[in-house]
Amino acid sequence: MTLIDQLGRSCHLSQVPVRIISLVPSLTETLVDLGLGDQIIGVTKFCVHPSDLRSKTTVIGGTKNPRIHDIIGLQPDLIIANKEENRMEDITELEQLFPVYVSDIKNVGDTINFILDMNKIFTNLDIQDILSGLEQLNTISISEKTSACYLIWKNPWMTIGHDTFIHHLLEKFGYQNVFGDQDRYPIMSIEDIASKNPDLIFLSSEPYPFKESDIIELSSWVQSKIILVDGEIFSWYGTRLLVAKEYFKTLKLNLGK
């Protein structure tokens, strides 16, 4: 079969894949939740969910620096990649040898479409409960928003722009991204952050592991309430989204907003 991936590229498959390599941590978890764990033969070192998967498969390096030679040795019949998380030069090299499906997920709807594509490839996956949960999540829209700044890195301080999955979730669950006029992952000074005077500053657990000491440091510059948040909830598209609704509900209760 030939499937059009989320970049509009043709992914040609001569058979139903039985040897999958995933270069995308959140989609590795999703594939397992779709019942495809036994077919996964290779993952990145960042594919930490489920926790025992790396011990059962071959770790082929990172998302940005996969070991192409190891991937070739595994002879996969499908590679799952992502526009943002993986380098196009690696994708281009790998697709000369193997079918590569490239995802491009910016919102909940894109996650739903990815799962539907997987069902086209593997057929008869048990996806109804997963789709139902994601579709319910996709209908959430909160008009009254609390201003927030979401930080992903320190030295330099980095935040998120409007064209990111994190921005999408912030807005969906009632938070106005004060840097929503920016693109991608802009670098900001503490003075830039303070000038926006957000109600909240979220410090993510990944990719930079913010700690309580960072709250203390920022508190001397801003009047905002500063809290540590689970970066996987905000940035892992795929089935991790199924726990997002409860997480944000608890977050709002704890914040009182």
What are the sequence ranges of the domains in the chain? 2-136, 146-255
What top-level class would CATH report for the domain 2-136? alpha beta
Q: What is the pLDDT of residue 257?
A: 56
Which residues neighbour 50 within 8 Å (Cβ) at sequence distance 6 or greater?
A: 29, 32, 37
Low-confidence ranges of the chain (pLDDT < 70): 257
> For residue 210, how far is the Cα from the chain centroid?
18
CA distance 84 to 142: 27
Q: How many residues does the chain have?
A: 257
Which residues neighbour 109 within 8 Å (Cβ) at sequence distance 6 or greater?
A: 138
CA distance 15 to 11: 12
Give phi and psi for 188, each to the nearest 5.
-130, 150
* Coil vs helix vs strand at 251: helix
Is residue 172 within a helix (H) or strand (E), and if so which, with residue range? helix 165-172
Q: What is the pLDDT of residue 145?
A: 92
Q: Do domains 2-136 and 146-255 have the same CATH topology?
A: yes
CATH topology of domain 146-255: Rossmann fold (3.40.50)
CA distance 230 to 32: 21
